[in-house]
Structure formats: C-alpha cells, structure tokens
Amino acid sequence: NAGVTQTPKFQVLKTGQSMTLQCAQDMNHNSMYWYRQDPGMGLRLIYYSASEGTTDKGEVPNGYNVSRLNKREFSLRLESAAPSQTSVYFCASQKGTDTTGELFFGEGSRLTVL
Amino acid sequence: EDQVTQSPEALRLQEGESSSLNCSYTVSGLRGLFWYRQDPGKGPEFLFTLYSAGEEKEKERLKATLTKKESFLHITAPKPEDSATYLCATNSNSGYALNFGKGTSLLVTP
C-alpha cells in the first residue's frame, strides 16, 4: 500500500502564479487534511474534509482553496501564490468522519514562491 | 484556545543516555493525545495515542505517559537511529483534527 501520496514533491513558483497540490490515499479513509509546516511554527491546519463532499476551513485558510474530488483525492489550490506561502505542505488522512483518531501523513510537497 | 507546548526545543544525548521529552497541554475536553516522529524531509509518522490520565504505551525504547496536564515521551538507552523530531498533538472537543506542538529535535550521538 502506498498510503498517502502527494504530488509534486518540489515546486518553485513566481509570485502571482497558480498551482494545485494533489493528494490521494488508498486506505479508504473518510477524512483528509492539508497542513503547512514552517520553521518555528509547527504544523498548522489549512483545510480539512471530514467526508466526501464536505470541506471546512482550518487555522490558516487564506489564500488557499480545496476540492474533495472523491473519497480518495483531496487537492489544495493556490490561486495567486505569495512568498508567505513558501512552506512544506502535508496531506493527511484519517479513518473516521468525526475528526478524532490518528492521522496518516504523506511525504510532503516543498513549495518555494519567489 | 487549545495550546500544546513541547520542551525542550532541542535535546542532544549520548547513545545509551536515557531522557524524557515533555508535552504540556491546555485543552477543553481531551479526546486524545498523540505522539509522532518526523525524520528530515519526511512526513510525521504515528507513534502513540493516549486517551486518559494514567495511561502508558510502549514501543521498543519509547514509552509515552499521560497526566491531566502533560505527557512525557521517555526514551530508554537511545540509539543514533532514534534521532528525529518528536511531535506532540492533541484532539479536543473545541477543535478539529489535531493541534500540534512545535516539536523536540532529538540528536543521539554514538
């Protein structure tokens, strides 16, 4: 099993460009999450989806949009990238729909915005 | 507002030198406290979940304990391969998903 797969692993953007980070899980989990990790800030929740067809904002949603395409896939879109969005992005999945229980993380997508 | 504070920020141990990492938390209705290990360039890897004060869990050289205000991750006779960042996170009634601390970076030297 691959678990949680994120693409791309690395990306460099110029300010104002757009891009989509893709995430897929093969564990038949219901909930999926996007976090960002910055030095000295820890992991911060951007958006989450407790079940297929629902999405909700986390702690730092500004500048991002998400799509829960189906049960397996949850994408994160930056419409107009800014240098402040330079970060490592992690997708995670969780078995339940009540946002409790352990998360399983992907390997991360490293984004640099110039 | 839920808060998770980990200490120390960084810890350097000699191989075989046991120690503990601390995770202090303030939450409204704890639904679970989680420990993760994160290696450089990788995603966090789940280690333990603790649900109630007094609970303990062990895995190889690691033992996690929980009180009403903090959790400890005890590392017994560590080896260089235990070097990683250890993350603590809480799940509570007032939040969603997991709320993470900033982590403790552990380096074990031969």
- Cα separation, B45 vs B101, in Å, equals 15
Q: Answer yes or no: do A100 and B91 touch at CB < 8 A.
A: yes
Q: Answer yes or no: do B96 and A99 touch at CB < 8 A.
A: yes
The beta-carbon neighbor of A106 closest among B43, B87, B102 is B43
Q: Tokens at residue A10, please?
A: 């690395």
In the block, which residue shows the tokens 């829960």?
A68
B102 touches chain A (CB under 8 A): yes
What is residue A99's predicted lDDT score, i.e. its pLDDT? 67
Cis previous bond, A83, omega within 30: no
Residue of A nearest to B105 (CA): A40
The beta-carbon neighbor of B43 closest among A48, A99, A107 is A107
| Cβ-based contacts of A90 with chain B (< 8 Å) | 43-44
What is residue A41's predicted lDDT score, i.e. its pLDDT? 84
- Cα separation, A83 vs A63, in Å, equals 11
What is residue B87's predicted lDDT score, i.e. its pLDDT? 97
Q: Answer yes or no: do A90 and B43 touch at CB < 8 A.
A: yes
- pLDDT tens digits along A32-50: 999 999 988 889 999 999 8
Compute the mean pLDDT over every residue in chain A, rounded to the nearest whole number.
Answer: 93
- pLDDT tens digits along B10-33: 999 999 999 999 999 998 888 899
B32 touches chain A (CB under 8 A): yes
Q: Sorting pLDDT into bands at 50, 70 and 90, what band is A100?
A: confident
In contact, A73 and A49? CB cutoff 8 Å? no
Q: Which of these, A34, A30, A25, A29, lies nearest to A51 by C-alpha position?
A: A30
Residue of A nearest to B39 (CA): A107
What is residue B95's predicted lDDT score, i.e. its pLDDT? 65
Q: Sorting pLDDT into bands at 50, 70 and 90, what band is A53?
A: confident
Pairing of strands B70-75, B19-26: antiparallel
Q: Which of these, B47, B32, B30, B31, lies nearest to B104 by C-alpha position?
A: B47
Q: Answer yes or no: do A101 and B96 touch at CB < 8 A.
A: no
Average pLDDT over residues A9-24: 97
Q: Name the β-bridge partners of A109.
A: A89
The torsion angle over the Cα atoms of residues A36, B48, A71 and A96, rounded to 10 degrees, is -120
The residue among A100, A104, A109 with the most chain B CBs within 10 A of its CB, best to mutate, is A100
Q: Tokens at residue A5, please?
A: 């797969």
**A78 pLDDT exceeds 80?**
yes
| Cβ-based contacts of A40 with chain B (< 8 Å) | 102
Q: Which of these, A5, A3, A1, A2, lies nearest to A109 by C-alpha position?
A: A5
